[in-house]
């Protein structure tokens, strides 16, 4: 009886979260400039209401009583997920939740223009307020869970992961990544790759993105594509909202941005319907979520086999039938080249881990109180030069102001990107072992076996299993960075 009461209560909460998700999408994609203050106040009020419902005093009693009931294994997993959500919510006072909602909205909204204007001085006080509140949150959560402050924030996104574990993983990557980048540079020096030259009509780019989404199985009856400053996947499983941004000089940015977000969206659209609206029916972690977007974008879409599908679409829709840059061979070489750059979202998969490790090291130090906001630009520049040989001195727009995560208060999120890349490589390797002649199937446009594998092993599982249990069940072993390293060696260094 208590378990059923908990289910009904959290289903009601999911309805409020549904509204919050759509309002958030609208704020980023469609809302006129003048609506921000009122929208931020409304969303802050909604966040308080959700917090009050999630921390209702009687839930603790229901949780204890439900724990003594005769539940199935799946119901037990559902109860554990509800308890984890309740515990995380009850750690924070309502006034802190409201203050964070207001500070994050104000910082993120102002960041849009401040980034364009390279205006670090105006951005800095807003970010300082966000970090002040994040530190308070981290201190409270850490004290309750017996963790370091940053680890307490990391737990929100990647349950079971710690900075100690990340330090081991990332230290290993840093031992071989610089050599891989250097060798890829040398190998590509002799490649005759032709860059597609614009302008590329925005409407045609949109048509190409929609065609790629259709090819990848996106359900347009439960989602849509729009434009925002920073591409993202939002909404809810029954109404997934993905966004991109277009550049007339480079159609690849939008195209692969759409493919990336489609990976997120397909995961959301295929989460277990039986557990819809409950914590156990949600994605397991941000790392697993990122594994789906990177599975689509990196493992699948940039493969030689998928390029055989993508190249004809691009030639036809962008009207480049006679353009030598649009041959299948050239597009594959172009989309798998390595280039050191400033922008994380535009980075190739070989240099991408350097961008993530840089952010992880800075945000960990920020949350733990080892550095202050004033230290960020110099530290960012130092690490960019050390990891990628690039200077960002005075270039805040393409440096420490480029991401939406910190303005929104999402500290502890960045490691998920490289964890996701590692999970994706391991998952794709397992799918290759499981599906006969997978490469040929992809080249022929038969993607159903691959999507069925993801549906069975990842999407349909929601949060019924822990992250380790999920990966072991899907691939036969816990997370092993060897698969990611091997993938990069094959694609960028030509090593078997």
- List active site positions: 261
Strands 233-236 and 223-227: unpaired
- For residue 476 the two structure tokens come to 């036969």
Rg (CA), the chain: 22
User: SS3 string of the chain?
Assistant: CHHHHHHHHHHHHHHHHHHHHHHHHHHHHCCCHHHHHHHHHHHHHHHHHHHHHHCCCHHHHHHHHHCCCCCCHHHHHHHHHHHHHHHHHHCCCHHHHHHHHHHHHHHHHHHHHHHHCCCHHHHHHHHHHHHHHHHHHHHHHHHHHCCCHHHHHHHHHCCCCCHHHHHHHHHHHHHHHHHHHHHHHHHHCCCCCCCCCCCCCHHHHHHHHHHHHHHCCCCHHHEEEEECCCCCEEEECCEEEEEECCCCCCHHHHHHHHHHHHHHHHHHHCCCHHHCCCHHHCCCCHHHHHHHHHHHHHHHHCCHHHHHHHHHHHHHHCCCCCCHHHCHHHHHHHHCCCCCCCCHHHCCCCCHHHHHHHHHHHHHHHHCCCCCHHHHHHHHHHHHHHHHCCCCCCCCCCCCCCCCCCCCCCCCCCHHHHHHHHHHHHHHHHHHHHCCCHHHHHHCCCCHHHHHHHHHHCHHHCCCCCHHHHHHHHHCCCCCCHHHHHHHHHHHHCCC
Strands 239-244 and 233-236: antiparallel
- For residue 338 the two structure tokens come to 């390595």
Helix axes 73-90, 58-66, angle to 10 degrees: 150
Q: Is the separation of the CB atoms in 21 and 235 below 8 Å? A: yes
Give residue for tokens 């390293």. 485
Rounded Cα distance, 374 and 397, in Å: 16
Cα–Cα nearest to 409, from 3, 132, 2? 132
């Amino acid at each position: 009886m208590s378990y059923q009461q908990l289910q009904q209560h959290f289903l009601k909460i999911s309805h409020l979260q549904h509204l919050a998700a759509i309002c958030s999408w609208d704020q980023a994609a469609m809302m006129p400039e003048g609506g921000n203050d009122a929208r931020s106040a409304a969303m802050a009020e909604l966040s308080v209401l959700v917090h009050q419902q999630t921390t209702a005093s009687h839930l603790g009693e229901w949780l204890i009583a439900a724990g003594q009931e005769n539940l199935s294994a799946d119901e037990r997993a559902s109860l554990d997920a509800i308890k984890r959500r309740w515990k995380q919510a009850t750690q924070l006072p309502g006034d802190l939740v409201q203050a964070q909602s207001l500070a994050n909205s104000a910082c993120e909204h102002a960041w849009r223009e401040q980034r364009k204007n390279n205006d670090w001085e105006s951005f800095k006080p807003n970010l300082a307020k966000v970090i002040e509140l994040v530190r308070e949150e981290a201190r409270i959560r850490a004290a309750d869970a017996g963790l370091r402050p940053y680890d307490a924030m990391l737990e929100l996104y990647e349950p079971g992961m710690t900075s100690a574990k990340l330090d081991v993983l990332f230290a290993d990557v840093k031992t071989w990544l610089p050599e891989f980048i250097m060798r890829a540079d040398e190998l590509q020096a002799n490649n005759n790759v032709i860059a597609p030259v614009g302008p590329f009509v925005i409407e045609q780019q949109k048509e190409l993105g929609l065609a790629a989404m259709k090819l990848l199985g996106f359900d347009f009856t439960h989602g849509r594509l729009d434009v925002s400053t920073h591409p993202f996947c939002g909404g809810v499983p029954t109404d997934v909202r993905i966004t991109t941004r277009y550049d007339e000089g480079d159609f690849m940015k939008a195209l692969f941005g759409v493919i990336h977000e489609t990976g997120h969206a397909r995961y959301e659209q295929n989460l277990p319907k039986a557990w819809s609206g409950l914590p156990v029916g949600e994605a397991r972690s941000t790392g697993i979520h990122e594994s789906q977007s990177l599975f689509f974008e990196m493992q699948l879409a940039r493969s030689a086999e998928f390029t055989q599908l993508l190249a004809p679409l691009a030639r036809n829709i962008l009207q480049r039938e006679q353009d030598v840059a649009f041959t299948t061979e050239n597009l594959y070489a172009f989309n798998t080249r390595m280039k050191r750059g400033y922008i994380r979202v535009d980075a190739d998969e070989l240099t991408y881990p350097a961008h993530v490790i840089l952010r992880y090291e800075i945000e960990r130090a920020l949350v733990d109180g080892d550095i202050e906001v004033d230290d960020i630009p110099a530290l960012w520049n130092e690490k960019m030069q050390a990891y990628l040989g690039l200077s960002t001195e005075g270039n805040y727009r393409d440096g420490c102001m480029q991401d939406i995560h910190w303005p929104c208060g999402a500290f502890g999120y960045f490691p998920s990107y490289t964890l996701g890349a590692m999970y994706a490589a391991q998952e794709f390797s397992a799918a290759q072992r499981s599906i006969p002649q997978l490469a040929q199937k992809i080249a022929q446009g038969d993607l159903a076996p691959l999507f069925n594998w993801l549906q069975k092993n990842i999407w349909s599982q929601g949060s019924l299993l822990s992250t380790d249990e999920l990966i072991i069940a899907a691939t036969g072993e816990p997370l092993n960075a060897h698969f990611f390293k091997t993938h990069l060696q094959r694609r960028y260094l030509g090593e078997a």
